[in-house]
């Protein structure tokens, strides 16, 4: 890959994404056959997690283990990055010990500063602004299920949060139509749209924002949703639940899409809130295939970044 770090989808060129997806498919197939690829033997991933996680932590740790490497889990209490010790010092010291850093944090500036000071690759495992590993997994999963990304339409229904931003950015790069349906004042931010415009000049051909979920899912190949209340937004919970009335992914909404539409959710899901049980557990759902693919995408990402 041409980039040293994965801070956001903006770091990736089309060739990088194609290479990552091809390697992901290859490594997933090898894993299913029981083949062992110890390409990261002797390598160590340091994982700085200020936010709790199940999928992100487990998938990165398992990825390193399956490739012969090792992962070290560091919580806020272990490092307290930026308070007990400066981000710069943490970055420079860890760079002397380990081969890659993955960070799951609140402030996106923490990721950018860490990457700027590090001599080893830094992976954004989630920040409040963006979630590149999730978006890469999402589009890989769509391509795996449909066989192509050509003429694909994805309808994202919910909050214009970090997941929505990363999904929209990657869709624009890959020329995939993405309709983002949110309530008023919950759409993609002007800051983000400006960044996207600077990176993808024809973004308006692929990324559209509306406030009508039924219109968004019309003729959609994929319906995607995420929680309405992200970590750190708990005080807004009641207000958000009221504002998002009508944006639930339920059987009625799904009926307005293609008959063979896929439904995705990055998890954790608040069942009965942004998505209903009958949909997430139903025939359209590929939620657990999507979750599994975090492992395979991140294995490919780690291999490409560490073995440069």
Global pTM?
0.96
Q: What percent of the chain is predicted at pLDDT more than 90?
A: 93
Mean pLDDT of 131-154: 98
Active-site residue (options: 100, 133, 171, 266): 266
Residue range 220-232: mean pLDDT, rounded: 91
Q: Are 9 and 135 in contact (CB under 8 A)?
A: yes
Spacing of C-alpha 221 from chain mean position: 19
Residue 230 banded pLDDT, cuts 50, 70, 90: confident
- Among 272, 278, 289, 288, smallest CA distance to 254 is for 278
**Residue 234's pLDDT band (cuts 50, 70, 90):** confident
Is 108 an active-site residue?
no
Which of the residues 55, 226, 284, 298 is marked catalytic? 226
pLDDT at residue 231 greater than cutoff 80 = no
Q: Is 14 part of the annotated catalytic residue set?
A: no
SS3 state of residue 21: helix
pLDDT at residue number 123: 98
Q: Which is the catalytic residue, given 131, 165, 265, 284?
A: 131
Asked whether residue 83 carries a pLDDT value surpassing 90, the answer given is no
Question: What average pLDDT does this structure show over 79-86?
Answer: 89
pLDDT at 209: 98
Instruction: Please give the C-alpha separations between residue 25 and each of 116, 293, 298, 300, in angstroms, as whole numbers.
Output: 31, 10, 12, 9
- pLDDT of 232 over the 80 cut: no
Is residue 308 pLDDT above 90, yes or no? Answer: no
131 is catalytic: yes
- List, in order of start, the domains of the chain with CATH numbers: 9-131+294-306 (3.40.50.1370), 134-290 (3.40.50.1370)
Predicted confidence (pLDDT) at residue 233 exceeds the cutoff of 80? no
Q: Which residues of 6-43 are buried (b: 16+ CB within 10 A; e: fewer)?
A: bbbbbbbeeebbebbbebbeebbeeeeeeeeeebbeeb
**Residue 235 confidence class, pLDDT cut points 50, 70, 90:** confident
* Average pLDDT, integer, range 248-261: 98
> By mean pLDDT, which of 13-17, 104-108, 236-240, 254-258 is the weakest?
236-240
Known active-site residue 39: no
**Given a cut of 80, is residue 120 above it in pLDDT?**
yes
Placement of tokens 């970055």 in the chain: 91
Q: Is the pLDDT of residue 179 over 80?
A: yes
Find the catalytic residue in 5, 55, 128, 134.
134
294 part of the active site: yes
55, 284, 294, 296: the active-site residue: 294
pLDDT recorded at residue 199:
93
**Residue 290 annotated as catalytic:** no
pLDDT recorded at residue 272: 97
């Amino acid at each position: 890959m041409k980039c040293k770090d994965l801070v956001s989808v903006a770091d990736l060129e089309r060739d990088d994404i194609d290479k990552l997806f091809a390697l992901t498919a290859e490594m997933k197939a090898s894993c299913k056959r029981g083949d062992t690829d110890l390409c990261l033997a002797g390598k160590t991933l340091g994982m700085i997690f200020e936010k709790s996680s199940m999928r992100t932590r487990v998938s990165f740790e398992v990825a390193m283990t399956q490739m012969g490497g090792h992962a070290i889990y560091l919580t806020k209490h272990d490092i307290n990055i930026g308070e007990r010790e400066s981000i710069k010092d943490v970055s420079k010291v860890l760079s002397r010990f380990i081969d890659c850093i993955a960070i799951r944090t609140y402030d996106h500036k923490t990721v950018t500063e860490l990457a700027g000071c590090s001599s080893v690759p830094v992976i954004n495992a989630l920040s409040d602004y963006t979630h590149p590993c999730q978006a890469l997994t999402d589009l890989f999963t769509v391509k795996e299920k449909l066989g192509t990304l050509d003429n694909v339409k994805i309808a994202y229904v919910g909050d214009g949060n970090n997941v929505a931003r990363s999904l929209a950015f990657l869709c624009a790069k890959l020329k995939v139509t993405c309709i983002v349906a949110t309530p008023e004042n919950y759409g993609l931010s002007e800051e983000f749209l400006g960044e996207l415009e600077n990176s993808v000049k024809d973004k308006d051909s692929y990324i559209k924002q509306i406030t009508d979920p039924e219109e968004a899912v019309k003729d959609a190949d994929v319906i995607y949703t995420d929680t309405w209340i992200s970590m750190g937004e708990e005080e807004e919970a009641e207000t958000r639940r009221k504002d998002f009335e009508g944006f639930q992914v339920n059987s009625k909404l799904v009926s307005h899409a293609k008959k063979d539409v896929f439904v995705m959710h990055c998890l954790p899901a608040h069942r009965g809130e942004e998505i209903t049980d009958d949909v997430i557990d139903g025939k359209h759902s590929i939620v657990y295939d999507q979750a599994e693919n975090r492992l395979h995408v991140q294995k490919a990402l780690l291999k490409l970044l560490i073995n440069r």
